[in-house]
Amino acid sequence: MKYAAKHIGKLVRATRKSLGLTQKDLALTSGTGLRFIIELEKGKPTCQIEKTLTVINTLGIRIELTPPAPPKED
C-alpha cells in the first residue's frame, strides 16, 4: 500500500481522539502550533517531516520503515 499525507492525518486524528486530547492539547505537548496540528490532520502534503515525526512520537504511534529486498542473483 502506498501511503499519503491524508493517511497520516487520519491516523493522527484518530489516535489523538482515542487518547482524549484536543488539538490544542496535542499542539502544546508536542511543541508545535495548533495550526500545524489542524493542517496535519487534514492531510496537508507539505507539512514538515520533523514536526510530523514529533507529533507521531508524542502520540506513541510507531512507524516501521522496511527497505526493499535486494535483487536476487541468478
Burial tier of 45 (Cβ tally within 10 Å: 0-12, 13-18, 19+): exposed
Position 11 scores a pLDDT of: 97
pLDDT, tens only, 6-36: 999 999 999 999 999 999 999 999 999 999 9
List domains and CATH numbers for the chain. Answer: 5-59 (1.10.260.40)
Residue 43 near residue 9, CB atoms below 8 Å: yes
Position 12 scores a pLDDT of: 98
Is the whole-model pTM more than 0.95? Answer: no
